[in-house]
Structures are given as C-alpha cells and as structure tokens.
Amino acid sequence: MEHRLYKAALAGNPNVGKSTIFNNLTGLKQHTGNWAGVTVASACGFFKAGGREYMLVDLPGTYSLAARSEDEKVARDFLCSGQADIIIAVCDATCMERGLYLLKQILALDYVLENGTPVVLCVNLCDEAERKGILIDFELLQDVLQLPVIPCCARRPESLDRLKQTILDATDTRNSYECLDFSPKQLARETTRYTKTNYRKQEEQIDRIVTGPVSGSLIMILLLLVIFWLTMYGANLPGAVLWNVLFFLEEKLASFLLWLRLPAKLVDFLVYGGYRVLAWVVSVMLPPMAIFFPLFTLLEDLGYLPRVAFNMDRAFMRCKACGKQCLTMVMGLGCNAVGVTGCRIIDSPRERLVAILTNSLIPCNGRLPTLFSLITLFFLAGIHESAAGSFLAALMLTIVILAGVFATLACSWILSHTLLKGVPSSFTLELPPYRRPQIGKVIVRSMVSRTLFVLGRAAAVAAPAGLLIWFLANVQLNQLSLLQHLTGFLDPLGRLMGLDGVILTAFILGFPANEIVIPIILMTYLQTGQLVEMTNSSALFGLLVSHGWTWKTALCMMVFCLFHWPCSTTCLTIKKETGSLRWTAAAIALPTILGTLLCMTVNLLTSIFF
C-alpha cells in the first residue's frame, strides 16, 4: 500500500464527544469538557488503520456552517477548504435531529459533491441513549443517507475499533450523495423511537433547583466555598512538606556549586536569586493547584458549568454583555490567559472584547495564595490551620471572588455604555446531560494539562525574575541598592493608596508571576539581597507589623491584588487575541485604574472612621 498521509476532519455539534473520540484515537490529551466551547482551535493528531496513516483534525463544535463565533469560523473554514480526504460527522444519539442538520450542510458543500468526498456519520453517546430508552434504527438511517453510519460509545475500545475500520473502508469510496432532499426532523422521527416517556424527568427536576432564580445562586456560592475550603485546608500539609524539601535541596545545590569552585557571588546569583524564587513559587502554587483544578474539572465533566452560565446570563444581559462571558470568567479562576483565549466562544466581536478586557478582574490561581496569606495573617491569626479557620478563610476568599464578579459586571456595563456601545446579542447555550465524571481521567488531565502547564509557565518566568530581583537588590548606587531607589520613588503613591513603595515595587517586579509578590516584599524589608524563608506565619506577621502593616494595609493590598494589571502571559495573550496594542493597553489600564482608585477610597474611609 502506498505511503500517504490522509487528512480526516472530525466535525459535529458542541458536546457530542468529539474530543473524547479524538483523544482515544490519537492518544493525545486534548481537553475534553462537558460544556459547549471547550475546543476553541483545531487540534491535530495521528492514528493508523489497516496500514494507512491518518491525520485527525478535531474541529471546534458548531451547530451550523453559518458561523458566528471565532471557533465556529475555524470549523467552517476548514470544512469549506476542501483539505479533508474524509469527514467524520459526529452526532449525539440522544439528539439526532440537531446533528443531522449539520450533516446535511456538510454533504451540500461544493467540493464534497464534486469529488464525492467520503463522509462517515458517527452516532456517539449510544450508551446514554440506551439508558434513556432511546432506540435508533441504524440500518434505516444508513439506507436513507447512503453513507456509512456507525454507532459508537467513545469510551469503549471496541467502538473505536469499528470506527477505525469504517474510516478505512470509506477512504477510497466516492459517493454521489443523492439523498440531500432528506428532512433532518422527519428522518430523526422515522429512525428514533422512545421507550421512556419521561426520560429527562430526573434531570429536569435537578435543573429546576440548580438553575432556579434563588437556589441556583446559592448553590453556586456554596460550591465555590466548598472548593476553596478543600483547597486551603488540604494544601497545608503537602505545602509544608514540599517547602522543606525544596529549601533543603537549596543548600545542597549551593554546596555543590561551591565545590565546583564557582565564585561565591555567582552562586548567590544562581541559587539565592534564581533557584530560591523558583522553589518559592513551586511550593506555594503546586499544592493548592493540585487540589483546585481536579475539583474544578469534576464540575466541568459533570456538566455544571453551563448551568452557571445560564444563571449568570440575565446579569450579563443587563450589562449588555453576553452570558457566555460567565464561562470565560470561570476559566479565569484557573488562569486569566486561558480565560482570554476562551473568549473565542463569544459570537459578537464587541461582546468578545468586553469579556477580554474584564477577564483579569477575576483573580487567577497565581493571586489566590497571596489573598489567602493576607486573610490568615491579619484576619484569622492563630486559627487558620484548623478546619474551622480554613472554613472562615474560604468564606472570606469567596467574598473576595464575588467582589471580582461584581466588578466584572460593573465594568462590562460601563464599557457597553461608553467605549463598546451596543446591545446584547442572542446566543445558543446548550445544557448538556449530567454525566458521571471519569475520576481517573479527571485527575490525570487536571494535573497534566492544567496544573503542570500553569506551574511550568509560572516557573519559566519565576527563575529569570529571581535573577533580576537579585540584581536590583545587590547593585548599589549612592550607597543604596537599585531596589531601594525604586521603592523610595514609589513610596508617596503607595502611602496614598494605603500601601507603601515596597508593596508597589513588588507588584511591578511580580509582573511575570503574581506568586512572587510577597517574597519580594520580604526581601526588600529585610534588605538581605535575596528572598528570605519564613518558616512560620508568626515570624512573617511580626516582620510585616514591624514595617508599619496593619489590618488596613492588608485590606488595601487585598484590593490591589484583586484589581491590578494582568501578568505578562495574559498581556501577551490579549495582544494575540485582539491583534491590537491599543486594546492590550486598555486591558492593562482598566484593572489598574480601578484598583488604584479603590485603594485610595478604602484608605481614606478607614482613616476617617477607624
């Protein structure tokens, strides 16, 4: 058989299991989520069938080739380009009609008709259809459509083996597609039989509670509270162990480099500059992320996140924004750069820009440790390591997150009435069925594709940032370090905001990674020229208090931590998504101006009344 690479397109509606099929066929770990818009760009992988090699292209989910959103345009453009040697149209067995509409549009493409490009209909989620009492006559469906139809359950290897064989058999065929006059609605009625009259009754009962006007909001807040509590309480012990291990290795590394006869200054630069910042970021970020992301992914796989968007839709509509912005806002809790990329699922360019500009108002995972530290040190001193203390800390952090949500709505309203005037557009939001999460895959995916990805990105910028910080702290000018000159220059503005010059400098130098803000503050206060280990919270609290910190300082810093410029990775992502330096500058200025004004207001009010 000749050596040739065949290009296969995987197309279908959102939430029909395309990415699961893609992952299992190619062995790649493409992100799979139980809500629309997860795949926002085409992913490519390879698999073999019968000695032939195929490049499988996982296209974003779309309901129609009349694309509106950016991800739908990606799918439309590829399908219309004629690049595919074979098209696999994936359809949901529990909702055949919707998939058949897209199939009819694919079959009507000019190059498909002219070349007879083979098309395979993969009816996925047959196991769910069976549980709901939905029976499909696949033979009749294939007779009417005159193309291969394969029932499938993407989680079962035997189904994928049949799909591979069907793709292989169909590769060399050329079809005339004389069936284009079929009615998707009528064909679905003829080939689908329901043996249970109220097969969605249980889901509808759950949805009445989960999406209720009052109960829906309470459940959202409660779930957020539980996730934060589990994250904070569960991260205490592994965080302490990881800290001890990494800083034990620090001394070993320094001794080894000295044994190699490297100059002492160079060892300080590499170990106490680069390595120490890296170790600090890893020990602070990894434990909470390893808990937060799997819990978040469980809700995603369960199918809960679209319900969150449904609950928030009315609020965003009043702000003349899109309800899908809630989904991108939730993505921002993990990483603002990911949230900005996720804005592609929003159809309207105006509403997509509103979502991009306001995404950083939601604190990412890199800012959560700083907020948590300030809460425990100044508002829950002495009890934060207990279960009750962790619960109170989670409650306060939840309130902080809700403040970010309120700010997102407020700024969306302002932008929609000023720079980005317009009316909210309509959109289709699918509420997928509740599905049992695959616990093992959730843990692996959340650890590999999320936790390690975010950690790796933070570590990549943390080490160079550590070297820069060491340089500023150790290079003298007029008997003061460059770092001291910078903090002195910013001190008047910092005092006006209820902070000081050291804190503002730490935020500026923390531009590559928010996790290193507190370490920079400690290093500058102690004037050691390197980041300093704080082995217990009481020592850290005592150091901050000795430099004039009060609960008002902590409160103002929490406000500025919540509302300040995005990190470097997010800024680069905004530039890539908008293609504009002007809008990137606006995305930086919006949270910074908001945070500065709020800090000044809080400082003024607390000075008057306390």
Mean pLDDT across the stretch 56-78?
84
- Contact between 234 and 289 (Cβ < 8 Å): no
Instruction: Note the pLDDT of residue 38.
Output: 53
- Contact between 171 and 47 (Cβ < 8 Å): no
Instruction: Note the pLDDT of residue 383.
Output: 63
Alpha helices in 359-386 (DSSP H): 368-378
d(CA 358, CA 589): 11
Instruction: Note the pLDDT of residue 135.
Output: 92
d(CA 518, CA 560): 13
Given a cut of 60, whether residue 60 has pLDDT beyond it is yes
Instruction: Note the pLDDT of residue 113.
Output: 81
Within 8 A by CB and 6+ apart from 79, the residues are 9, 11, 59, 65, 87, 106, 109
Q: How confident is the model at residue 597 (pLDDT cuts 50, 70, 90)?
A: very high
Mean pLDDT across the stretch 526-544?
65
Which of 145-159, 436-450, 468-482, 504-518 has the largest mean confidence? 145-159
What are the backbone angles phi and psi of residue 48, rounded to the nearest 5°?
-120, 145
- Contact between 40 and 342 (Cβ < 8 Å): yes
Instruction: Note the pLDDT of residue 469.
Output: 76
Instruction: Note the pLDDT of residue 32.
Output: 47
Q: What are the tens digits of pLDDT across the range 24-50? A: 888 865 554 544 555 555 678 889 888
Instruction: Note the pLDDT of residue 329.
Output: 87
Q: Checking DSSP bridges between strand 43-49 and strand 52-58, what pairing results, if any?
A: antiparallel
Instruction: Note the pLDDT of residue 35.
Output: 46
All domains in the chain, ordered by first residue: 5-194 (3.40.50.300), 215-426+460-609 (no CATH)
Neighbours of 251 (CB within 10 A): 10
Instruction: Note the pLDDT of residue 501.
Output: 93
The token pair at 24 is 């299992």
Instruction: Note the pLDDT of residue 347.
Output: 77
- Contact between 306 and 38 (Cβ < 8 Å): no
Of 121 and 273, the structure prediction assigns the larger pLDDT to 121
Within 8 A by CB and 6+ apart from 507, the residues are 517, 560, 564
Q: What are the tens digits of pLDDT across the range 154-196? A: 888 888 899 999 999 998 888 777 777 888 889 989 999 888 7
Give CA angle at 32 (333, 321), nearest 5°: 45
DSSP of 511-546, one letter per residue? SS-GGGHHHHHHHHHHT-SS-----SHHHHHHHHHH
d(CA 257, CA 264): 9
HSE toward the beta carbon, residue 469, CA cutoff 13 A = 39
Instruction: Note the pLDDT of residue 533.
Output: 54
Given a cut of 50, whether residue 1 has pLDDT beyond it is no
Instruction: Note the pLDDT of residue 287.
Output: 79
Alpha helices in 63-200 (DSSP H): 70-81, 96-107, 110-115, 126-131, 138-145, 157-171, 184-191
d(CA 523, CA 14): 49
The token pair at 345 is 């699922």
Mean pLDDT of the chain: 83
Q: What are the tens digits of pLDDT across the range 344-375? A: 878 788 999 999 999 999 998 778 878 888 88
Q: What are the tens digits of pLDDT across the range 209-225? A: 998 888 988 998 888 88
With 0-12 / 13-18 / 19 or more C-beta atoms within 10 angstroms meaning exposed / middle / buried, residue 82 is: middle
Given a cut of 90, whether residue 447 has pLDDT beyond it is no
d(CA 381, CA 395): 15
Mean pLDDT across the stretch 91-116?
88
Neighbours of 284 (CB within 10 A): 25
Given a cut of 80, whether residue 18 has pLDDT beyond it is yes
What are the backbone angles phi and psi of residue 216, rounded to the nearest 5°?
-60, -45
Q: How confident is the model at residue 67 (pLDDT cuts 50, 70, 90)?
A: confident
Instruction: Note the pLDDT of residue 29.
Output: 52
Mean pLDDT across the stretch 257-263?
90
pLDDT > 70 in the chain, percent: 89
Which of 298-312, 400-414, 526-540 has the largest mean confidence? 400-414
Instruction: Note the pLDDT of residue 529.
Output: 53
Least confident of 292-301, 527-536, 553-562: 527-536
